[in-house]
Amino acid sequence: MTGKGGVGKTTVSYALGLAAAAAGKRSIVCEIARQEHGSALFGRDPIGFNETELTDGLWAISIDPDKMVREYLEVLLPVRAMASLLYRSNLFAYLAAATPGLREVVSIGKAYELTLDVRRSPDGAGTYDLVIVDAPATGHGIGFLEAPGTFRRIAKGGPLADQASRIERMITDRERSGVGIVATAEEMAVNETAELAEGLEETGVALEEVFVNGLFPERFSDAELERIRTAREQRPSAALDAAIAEAERAQTQQIELERLRGIVTGVPIDELPFLFAAELGVEQLRRIASVLS
Amino acid sequence: MSPHLDAILAGRSICICAGSGGVGKTTTAAAVAVAMAARGLKVAVLTIDPARRLADSLGLDELGNVPVRVELGEHGRGGGELWATMLDAKATFDEVIDRYATDEKARQRVLDNRIYQQISGALAGSQEYMAMEKLYELDEEDDFDLLVLDTPPSRNALDFLDAPRRVTQFVEGRAMRLFIRPTGFGARIAGRGFSVVSAVLRRVTGGDLIADLSEFFSAMAGLLSGFRDRAERVEGLLGDERTTFLVVTSPAGEPIEEAGYLRGKLAEGDFPLGAMVVNRVHTTGAPGAPEEGSREALTGLLGDEDLVARVLAAHADRGVLADRDRTNIEALRAASPGVPVFEVPELSDEIHDLDGLRAFARMLMPDDAG
């Protein structure tokens, strides 16, 4: 899942997870960011780098790319003492800072591990039917998906490059992997979605679905809106103002939504409602999930 | 009553707009630039990724790495000028290399290096640093009264604060160089465990990567002192008394939290925070309008019970957002004593011309005050 900042990428990721879990799929949302948000949505303490079941069939893990070097080294190196040595020396951290694509390979590497039929994690974790990666916002988004290929080309050989190749094969395998773009029906978000969709074609990663989030309800017909406007001229009313503002916003959104449908063709475009709530929580996620399923 | 933004910006020559993604940073930066140009100043706005319509609204087909003059029309009657540029991080990085390479061969050696080619676009902090580099260049070489910087959409709004240091540390690559050429003094300091670690790392990464990195750091070595010197001066701009920060946010929970965090970090680093701008604030109705359109009165006006019910539902929804926004903004104000907080109401359409930017700016500085 990718998209511009502030469009509700994390919300939609978890809603998708809820919908999948309700359909009987054991699912996990994998947040890749310095700050995690999912635990708060479910009213839980931060979960960090621990696979945690948030609700029936829906799991989550939070990956801070800066902090997961050690686990990664342990997966990569057969002898734990060697991993520990490399980690303590800080050299791998320097290498990760210096080598384009390596940090991303390390983050996606964990998501890749979650998809395996036989898990490598030492604690005997279960397997998942669906792994939802809440990727960094666009700008970073395409770079994130291109990272394994970029890294493989730079490193050419060695176990890390092999791992990067395996990840690259997985994310470009159209049978198994796909990208969902989350957008809002606003000019900049629509433009960015169009650019992202175009960029994806070049990377060989399949665009699976576009989620247009935050759509205002269309409560009034054009004729009704005219009546409301006429009434507003006769008498000031906060309620009429609110109705007009909402209708105008909905109209603008529908224009942008149509524009998006004209540009991005051949994939489903899902429409998700704006959530009028002071704070988002499980109840709101379930509403989005019910639209998705 | 707090001062208007034009008073806050008086005597400042650099205004940095910071905040998380999707909160209207680019629009705020452009609006401030237009309004200050309308007050007779020569202003440049450095933007990162403007929506096409914003570039159009500035009367420009395309923005490039070199500032172009914006036709102000009636907004230029005060004798001011507005210039705009869109940052190209890679081109700016190349310019920095140009500046410090001693000869053509040294320059080409860096530009041709595969690691450099990837890094100049992708290194964490390089976009942020290059935005500041460009800011420094304009400040040094041109005669603008005010430079307005729209910061890149980082994963973290704070990335730009330590970007110069991070980029310099990386380019210096002390630890990496020590490891790449573990001979002589360096190897002796590192001790005997070093060769083991080095062997393990080579085993993980393969030899080619290490060879390329080694080539990169040795190609950069000749440029280092100039680069480091420049980075220090660029970093100095952030804390300069001619600089002020604008923290931009929307009233939703997460951006407000981020804004509070950013405010704290600015205070910690002694960076001058001029004001906060909260965009897209929902209100219920114009001031003076009756608090509630009561069901009876509305039914009298609209004559349709079902329509009235939907109008009231729209009002209730807006009320939820207005309440949320008010609570969040109050919390932000309480946590930021002494910092002016400006509110800009939610607009039903996106801004796409100079008039729109000017109208936006009136929420921050009324025309008659200028």
3 state SS for B64-87: CCCCEEECCHHHHCCCCEEEEEEC
- B307 domain residue, yes or no: no
Residue A77 has its nearest CB partner, among B20, B118, B204, at B204
Contact B174, A97 (CB under 8 A): no
At residue B187, the pLDDT reads: 47
From edge to edge, which strands make up the β-sheet containing A27-32? A52-55, A58-63, A27-32, A130-134
Test B208 with A103 for CB contact under 8 angstroms: no
Give the side-chain half-sphere CA count within 13 A for A65.
19
What CATH number does residue B73 fall under? Answer: 3.40.50.300
B254 contacts A243? CB cut-off 8 A: no
Backbone angles phi, psi at B354, to 5 degrees: -60, -40
Over range B282-301, report the average pLDDT.
69
The whole-chain average pLDDT of chain A stands at 86
- Taking contacts as CB-CB distances below 8 angstroms, the residues of chain A near B302 are 227-228, 231
Measure in Å the smallest separation between the Cα of B79 and chain A Cα atoms. Answer: 32
Using CB atoms, pick whichever of B20, B201, B311 lies closest to residue A6: B20
Q: Are strands B68-70 and B81-86 parallel, antiparallel or unpaired?
A: antiparallel
User: Is residue A260 in a domain?
Assistant: no
Degrees (nearest 5) of the Cα angle A37, B23, B283?
100
| Å between A166 CA and nearest CA of chain B | 15
Interval B82-136: pLDDT, tens: 999 888 877 888 888 888 888 898 889 888 887 787 766 656 567 777 888 888 8
Nearest to A238 among B49, B196, B291 (CB): B291
Closest chain A CA to residue B191: A89
Give the angle A53-A54-A57 at the CA atoms, nearest 5°: 60
Q: Between B288, B297, B310, which is nearest A219 by CB?
A: B310
Q: Let me know if residue B349 belongs to a domain.
A: yes
Report yes or no: B77 at the A interface, CB cutoff 8 Å: no
Q: Which secondary structure element, helix H or strand E, spans residue B289, and what is its range? A: none
The answer to whether B336 contacts chain A (CB < 8 Å) is no
Provide the Cα torsion B350, B355, B358, B360; round to 10°.
-20
Token match 């929307």: residue? B250
Q: Which of A187, A227, A239 sits opposite B51 (nearest CB)?
A: A187
Instruction: Determine the pLDDT at residue A187.
Output: 84
**Number of independent structural domains in chain B:** 1
Using an 8 Å CB-CB cutoff, list chain B residues near A231: 298, 301-302
**pLDDT tens-digit series, residues A235-256:** 888 899 999 999 999 999 999 9
Cα B318–chain centre separation:
30
More confident residue, B179 or A168: A168
Instruction: Point out the residues of chain A with pLDDT beneath 70.
Output: 34, 66-70, 75-76, 78, 89-101, 120-125, 137-143
Read off the amino acid at residue B34: V
Of A158, A162, A156, A57, nearest in space to A109 by CA: A162
Is residue B291 pLDDT above 90, yes or no? no
For residue A152, being part of any structural domain is answered with: yes
Token pair recorded at residue B348: 């039903």
- Residue A233 maps to a domain: no
CB pair distance less than 8 Å for A246 and B51: no
Dist. CA B230–CA B96, nearest whole Å: 9
Q: How far is B331 from chain A (nearest CA, A)?
A: 14
Residue A145: list chain B partners with CB under 8 A: none
Handedness of CA A18, A23, A27, A29 (dihedral sign): negative
The residue-averaged pLDDT of B272-296 equals 76
Answer yes or no: do B206 and A248 touch at CB < 8 A: no
Contact call for residues A160 and A73 (beta carbons, < 8 A): no
Report if residue A87 sits inside a domain: yes
Positions of E strands within chain B: 14-18, 42-47, 68-70, 81-86, 146-150, 243-249, 273-281, 341-345
The residue of chain A with its CA nearest to that of B53 is A187
* Inter-chain residue contact A160 with B346, CB threshold 8 Å: no
Q: Establish if B328 belongs to a structural domain.
A: no
Residue B225 has pLDDT above 50, yes or no: yes
- Helix, strand, coil shares of chain A, percent, nearest 5, are 50, 15, 35
Give which of A74, A78, A98, A100 is closest to A88, Cα–Cα.
Answer: A74
**Per-residue DSSP letter, B99:** H
Residues of the domain holding B189 = 5-284+339-369
Counting one residue from A and one from B, how many pairs have CB atoms under 8 Å apart? 211
Q: Which domain holds residue A63?
A: 2-217+265-292
Chain B contacts of A235, Cβ < 8 Å? Answer: 297, 301
pLDDT surpasses 50 at B289? no
The model's confidence at residue B141, banded by pLDDT at 50, 70 and 90, is confident
Residues of chain A in contact with residue B297, where contact means CB-CB under 8 angstroms, are 235, 237
Judge whether B118 is closer than 8 Å to chain A, CB to CB: yes
CA B9, B15, B19: angle at the middle one, nearest 5?
Answer: 120
Q: Which residues does residue A215 pair with via DSSP β-bridges, in sequence order?
A: A273
pLDDT of residue B287: 46
Chain B residues 245-304 with CB within 8 Å of chain A? 250, 253-255, 284-286, 288-293, 297-298, 301-302, 304
Distance CA A227, CA B113 (A): 67
Q: Do B21 and A6 touch (CB under 8 A)?
A: yes
Q: Which two tokens stand for residue A177?
A: 């992997």
Beta carbons of B196 and A85 less than 8 Å apart: yes
**Within a domain: residue B36?**
yes
Q: B285 and A224 in contact by Cβ < 8 A?
A: no
Q: Say yes or no for a CB contact (<8 Å) between B124 and A103.
A: yes
Residues of A in contact with B319 (CB under 8 A): 242
In the structure encoding, which two tokens stand for residue B106, read together? 């040294």
Q: Considering its fold, how many domains does chain A have in total?
A: 1
The lowest-confidence range among A94-98, B304-308, B321-325 is A94-98
Calpha distance B84→B44 (Å, rounded): 5
Q: And the tokens for A48?
A: 């960090």
Q: Which of A100, A228, A243 faces B118 most closely, judged by CB atoms?
A: A100
CA A268, CA A181: separation in Å to the nearest integer?
11
Q: Is the CB of A5 less than 8 angstroms away from the CB of B153?
A: yes
CATH (domain of A24): 3.40.50.300
The answer to whether residue B312 sits within a structural domain is: no
Would you give the DSSP letter of residue A28? Answer: E
Asked whether residue B325 is domain-assigned, the answer is no
CB contact under 8 A, A95 and B201: yes
Residues of A in contact with B206 (CB under 8 A): 155-161
Please report the pLDDT score of residue A157 as a whole number: 76
Asked, for residue A249, whether it belongs to a domain, the answer is: no
Per-residue pLDDT tens over the stretch A130-145: 999 998 765 555 667 8
B117 → chain A, closest CA residue: A100
Q: Write the DSSP symbol of residue B47.
A: E
Q: Which two tokens stand for residue B121?
A: 């676009």
Residue B265 lies in a domain: yes
Residue B348 belongs to a domain? yes
Residues of chain A positioned with their CB less than 8 A from the CB of B207: 157-158
